Amino acid sequence: MSDEENIPSENLIDQDVSAEKPSDEPSDLSDNQDAVTRLKSKLDEAYGKQEDLHSKYLRTFADLDNLRKRSIRDRDEAIQRTKKQILEDLLPVIDSFNIGIDAAIKENPDGPLVKGFKMAIDQMDAILGEYGLICIDAVGQKFDPQFHEAIGYENGDSDGVVLKIIRNGYKIKDQLLRPASVVVTKFEDE
């Protein structure tokens, strides 16, 4: 019998495995290093995707917020334009009421027609005042070309003072709707 036949079979397997282990350890180590490298690259790629998605989320959120703000601003501007247009359309009606009350006062200052006109004008002024309509009070003030339109001059003690209003001017808060048509004093040397 040969020496190999005398060695139990378990020892042969151990010898084969032990003989292979030293040669396999470097390849297992390099395989592990390759796996770690691949995992690190996949992890870096996942972090990169996460950062990209996060930045896209922030941009989308900012765009949505800007869109919301722009929508609110556009809606408010549309409301203001509509309000201004309606009030501008009502100015001739207000002028007609003022002409009517002036005529009624000349005919019968204490009559029921004057009382009715005054009640209607007071109600209309109150409602339009809630919408921001302000009548430009100009009598006795210095002429201001931003708010007044001079349609005539009369002699007076000073120069450039509003003497009387021919047609009322109106504004919404600080925005001019229509300038007041006025007669202005003109100082004349004798």
Which one, of 138, 140, 125, 135, lies nearest residue 178 by Cα? 135
What span, in angstroms and rounded, lies between the C-alpha atoms of 90 and 43? Answer: 70
Domain boundaries, the chain: 134-190
What would the pLDDT profile of 77-127 be if each residue is shown by its tens digit? 999 999 999 999 999 999 998 898 989 899 988 888 899 889 999 999 999
Q: What is the pTM of this model?
A: 0.62
In terms of Cβ atoms closer than 10 Å to its own Cβ (0-12, 13-18, 19+), residue 181 is: middle
Looking at the structure, give the CATH architecture of the domain made up of residues 134-190.
Answer: Roll (2.30)
Which one, of 172, 179, 147, 166, lies nearest residue 86 by Cα? 172
